[in-house]
Amino acid sequence: MSVMPVNNMLTRGELDALPDDGLRHELIDGVFVMSPAPDVGHQRMLGALYRALWQASQGSQLEVLVAPVDVVLGSSVVEPDIVVARSEEFGERGLASAPALAVEIRSQSTAWLDEGRKRSLYEEHGVANYWLVDPAAPSVTLLLLVTGRYVVAATARGDHTVEVDQPFPITLNPAVLSRG
């Protein structure tokens, strides 16, 4: 199953009125995009990464939430797999501004979107840290916003670790994360 751009333009209100059906619903540049539920490898990586980020965030003023959480960036509403922001920035449905970190876990159906338009949206709207995680490889690519453009700050593959200091210190091992 793949991502399905629906040919209709939607408003934020129409998006909010959709039923909770377990699928990812996003509004990208006014275009409604629906994604299937992720596979087990994706979910294992998501759970392990969430636990690691949550543990590392303790003592900071940042909160770690897992999708579905709306992030409003201009006229677009996206749902990163994991989002990190200051607790007081979260509203009832999510964020109305750029988070400190957005994480997308690669799925065959969404890779083109995560590495293309969503990356551009995050960059344009000032998301300081964007991580692309691939459970199949396994790998983690850390993008850092520098003067308005993303640069690859680090990449870790397999059993190699990477140490990160933003948005808080954490050590990541993709192979360990991929096992859940």
Question: Is 31 among the domain residues?
Answer: no
Query: Looking at the 3D structure of the chain, how many domains does it have?
Result: 1
Question: Is 2 among the domain residues?
Answer: no
Question: Is 80 among the domain residues?
Answer: yes
Containing structural domain, residue 47: 38-178
pLDDT in tens, the chain (180 residues): 345 445 567 677 777 777 777 667 777 777 777 777 788 998 999 999 999 999 999 999 999 999 989 999 998 899 999 999 999 999 988 899 999 999 999 987 777 777 778 899 999 999 999 999 999 999 999 999 999 999 999 999 999 999 999 999 999 999 999 998
Whole-number Å distance between alpha carbons of 86 and 25? 24
> What pTM was estimated for this model as a whole?
0.85
Question: Is 71 among the domain residues?
Answer: yes
Question: Is 170 among the domain residues?
Answer: yes
Q: Are strands 129-134 and 101-105 parallel, antiparallel or unpaired?
A: parallel
CATH number assigned to the domain comprising residue 167: 3.90.1570.10
Question: Is 12 among the domain residues?
Answer: no
Question: Is 46 among the domain residues?
Answer: yes
106 contacts 132 by C-beta, under 8 angstroms: yes
92 contacts 62 by C-beta, under 8 angstroms: no
Question: Is 10 among the domain residues?
Answer: no
Closest to 103 (Cα-Cα) out of 161, 61, 54: 54
- Cα angle 133-134-135, degrees, rounded to a multiple of 5: 115
